[in-house]
C-alpha cells in the first residue's frame, strides 16, 4: 500500500520473535486487544517517552510535568462530558452474535465464513444502533454500593485540568504555559485490531497548553508545526506523515478545532496523534461542577480570564508502532536476506552490541571489559553465542545501530571494529575512545537510510 516491504504480519512476527511485544495472557488463549511488552519493547517505549519528555521539559521552559491518579473523582467525568458523550453507536448481529460500530460497519467482518457484513446477506439480523459508553467502570471500597462507582480514566488530560490551580500557585506560571503527563488510559474499545494500534489499555503522552484566549489560534498553529517536526527529528519519513483537519461532524464534544497527525501505516493513513483546540470547555466545566474558580488572575492589573487550551495528545503504543513500521526494512547481504530495524539511534533499544569474534583466546574476557566500560554511558549488550554473522543479524533485527567486535588484533593493540547497522561499514577504533565516539554519534542529526540519497 505504501511502497514499503513492511506488512503488519511481518511486524507482529518480528515483535514476538525478538521480544518486543506479546499477546497478553497468551497461555490462556490471549485477551482481546491486550499486549504485554517484552525487554526490547520496554526499552523502546522508554526511549520514546524520554524523547517526548525531553521535547516538552528540557528543550523549553514553558511546560511543567504532572503524574496524576488513574482513578479520579467520578464528577470529573460528568464535568468533562465523558459520561454523556464518550460513546460509540453499536449494532449487534443477532445471527452471528458479534458487535460492530455503526459508523464502521463497512469495514466489519462477520463471524460466519465466508460471509461478510454489513447486513448484506439474508441471514444478517442487525439491531438498531445503541450508544455504548467506552469507560471502564469499577468500584471504590470492598462493597459495591450506591456512589461507589468510579471510572478508569479514558484520557490523561482531565488530571491536568483538575490540577491546573496548583500550577498557577507553586509553578508561578502565567499563560502561555503547559502541563504534560505520561500515563495509562483505558477505553472499552469495540473496534480493535491492528496489533498495538488500538487497544483497551494504552499509554498516553498528553500536554495541555494554557493560553490567553486571543492567542489560541497562534498556539494551535505552533503545535501543528512542532509535533510533525518531533517525529521527523526522530527519523520518521516526512512523506509518511500528514496533517488532516477534522470537519465539523468529526470534532469531539470539547473541541473547536482538531487536526490529526496521520501516519501511513501498512494498513493505510490513520491517526497517530491528535492536536486540538479545546477552548475553555474543560476549565469552565470543572469550575461549574466543583464550585472552584479556575481562571488566571493578574494581581497587578486585575486582568482575569479562563485560558484556552491547545492539546497535543499521542499514544506511546501507537508511536511505537509508527516508529517500528517506519524502521522495518529488508535487504540482502552476501546473498542472504536480512531483516533490519533502521531505528533512530536515540530510539534503538540497545545502542551497541559487544561481540567477541570467537569464544576463546581471551577474547570473551576482553569483550566483557569493553562491555562494562560502555554500559556506563549507554545501553549495551554482550553476546558471545553463535556465529558472528548470526549475532549481527540478531542485533540488526532489534535495531542496534552499532556493533563492536573484539578479535585477535584487539588483544595486541586494544582496537576493535565498529560495524554500522545501515551502511555496514566497519572501522577500526581504540577501546579507550569508544564511549566518547558513541556519545558523539548519538548527538548527530540522523536521517532514515530508507529515504536514500
Query: Which residues lie near ligand GAP (CB under 6 A)?
Result: 155, 157, 187, 189, 198-199, 202, 204, 206, 271-274, 311, 313-315, 317-318
* In the complex, least distance from residue 193 CB atom to ligand GAP, rounded to whole angstroms: 11
Burial 55-78 (b: 16+ CB within 10 A, else e): bbeeeeeebbebebeeebebebbe
Q: CB nearer to ligand GAP: give 187 or 351.
A: 187
Burial 330-352 (b: 16+ CB within 10 A, else e): eeeeeeeebbbbbbbbbbbbbbb
Q: CB nearer to ligand GAP: give 25 or 127.
A: 25
For 360, the 3-state DSSP assignment is coil
* In the complex, least distance from residue 321 CB atom to ligand GAP, rounded to whole angstroms: 9
Would you state the cell numbers that stand for residue 16, as one nine-digit string? 514476538
Q: CB nearer to ligand GAP: give 271 or 384.
A: 271
Q: CB nearer to ligand GAP: give 273 or 326.
A: 273
Among 47, 426, 11, 58, smallest CA distance to 196 is for 11
Cα torsion angle, 63, 65, 70, 71, sign: negative
Residues in contact with 298: Cβ distance below 8 Å, sequence separation at least 6, in sequence order? 174, 304
Q: CB nearer to ligand GAP: give 43 or 48.
A: 48
* In the complex, least distance from residue 33 CB atom to ligand GAP, rounded to whole angstroms: 8
* In the complex, least distance from residue 243 CB atom to ligand GAP, rounded to whole angstroms: 13
Strands (E), 282-348: 296-297, 304-305, 308-315, 328-333, 336-341
Reduced 3-state DSSP string for 39-75 = HHHHHHHHHHHHHHHHHHHHCCCCEEECCCCCECCCH
* In the complex, least distance from residue 75 CB atom to ligand GAP, rounded to whole angstroms: 18
* In the complex, least distance from residue 334 CB atom to ligand GAP, rounded to whole angstroms: 40
Q: CB nearer to ligand GAP: give 260 or 329.
A: 260
Q: CB nearer to ligand GAP: give 158 or 363.
A: 158
* In the complex, least distance from residue 34 CB atom to ligand GAP, rounded to whole angstroms: 11
Residues in contact with 112: Cβ distance below 8 Å, sequence separation at least 6, in sequence order? 95, 96, 123
Tell me the residue nearest to ligand GAP as measured from the CB.
315
Amino acid at each position: 500500500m505504501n511502497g514499503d516491504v513492511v506488512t503488519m504480519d511481518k511486524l507482529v512476527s518480528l515483535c514476538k520473535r525478538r521480544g518486543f511485544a506479546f499477546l497478553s495472557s497468551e497461555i490462556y488463549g490471549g485477551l482481546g486487544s491486550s499486549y504485554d511488552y517484552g525487554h526490547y519493547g520496554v526499552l523502546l517505549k522508554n526511549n520514546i517517552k524520554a524523547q517526548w519528555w525531553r521535547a516538552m521539559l528540557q528543550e523549553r521552559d514553558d511546560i511543567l510535568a504532572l503524574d496524576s491518579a488513574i482513578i479520579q473523582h467520578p464528577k470529573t467525568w460528568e464535568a468533562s462530558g465523558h459520561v454523556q458523550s464518550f460513546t460509540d453507536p453499536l449494532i449487534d448481529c443477532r445471527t452471528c452474535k458479534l458487535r460492530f460500530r455503526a459508523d464502521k460497519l463497512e469495514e466489519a467482518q462477520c463471524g460466519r465464513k465466508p460471509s461478510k457484513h454489513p447486513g448484506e446477506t439474508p441471514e444478517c439480523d442487525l439491531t438498531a444502533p445503541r450508544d455504548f459508553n467506552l469507560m471502564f467502570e469499577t468500584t471504590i471500597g470492598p462493597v459495591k454500593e450506591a456512589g461507589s462507582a468510579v471510572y478508569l480514566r479514558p484520557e490523561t488530560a482531565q488530571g491536568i485540568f483538575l490540577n491546573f490551580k496548583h500550577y498557577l500557585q507553586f509553578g508561578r506560571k502565567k499563560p502561555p504555559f503547559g502541563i504534560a503527563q505520561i500515563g495509562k488510559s483505558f477505553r472499552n474499545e469495540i473496534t480493535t485490531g491492528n496489533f498495538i494500534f488500538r487497544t483497551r489499555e494504552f499509554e498516553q503522552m498528553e500536554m495541555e497548553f494554557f493560553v490567553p484566549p486571543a492567542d489560541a489560534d497562534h498556539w494551535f498553529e505552533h503545535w501543528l508545526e512542532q509535533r510533525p517536526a518531533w517525529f521527523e527529528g526522530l527519523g520518521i519519513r516526512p512523506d509518511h506523515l500528514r496533517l488532516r483537519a477534522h470537519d465539523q461532524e468529526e470534532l469531539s464534544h470539547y473541541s473547536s478545532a482538531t487536526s490529526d497527525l496521520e501516519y501511513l501505516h501498512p494498513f493505510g493513513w490513520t491517526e497517530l496523534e491528535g492536536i486540538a483546540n479545546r477552548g475553555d470547555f474543560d476549565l469552565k466545566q470543572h469550575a461549574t461542577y466543583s464550585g472552584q474558580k479556575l481562571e488566571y488572575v493578574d494581581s497587578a492589573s486585575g486582568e482575569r480570564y479562563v485560558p484556552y487550551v491547545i492539546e497535543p495528545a499521542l499514544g506511546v503504543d501507537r508511536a511505537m508502532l509508527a516508529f517500528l513500521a517506519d524502521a522495518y526494512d529488508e535487504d540482502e547481504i552476501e546473498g542472504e536476506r536480512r531483516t533490519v530495524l533502521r531505528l533512530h539511534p536515540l530510539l534503538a533499544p540497545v545502542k551497541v552490541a559487544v561481540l567477541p569474534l570467537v569464544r576463546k583466546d581471551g577474547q570473551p574476557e576482553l569483550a566483557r571489559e569493553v562491555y562494562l566500560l560502555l554500559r556506563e554511558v549507554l545501553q549495551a549488550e554482550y553476546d558471545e553465542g553463535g556465529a558472528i554473522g548470526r549475532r549481527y543479524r540478531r542485533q540488526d533485527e532489534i535495531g542496534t545501530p552499532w556493533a563492536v567486535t573484539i578479535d585477535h588484533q584487539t588483544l595486541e593493540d586494544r582496537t576493535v571494529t565498529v560495524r554500522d547497522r545501515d551502511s555496514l561499514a566497519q572501522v577500526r577504533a581504540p577501546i579507550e575512545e569508544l564511549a566518547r565516539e558513541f556519545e558523539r554519534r548519538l548527538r548527530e542529526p540522523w536521517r532514515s537510510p530508507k529515504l536514500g540519497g
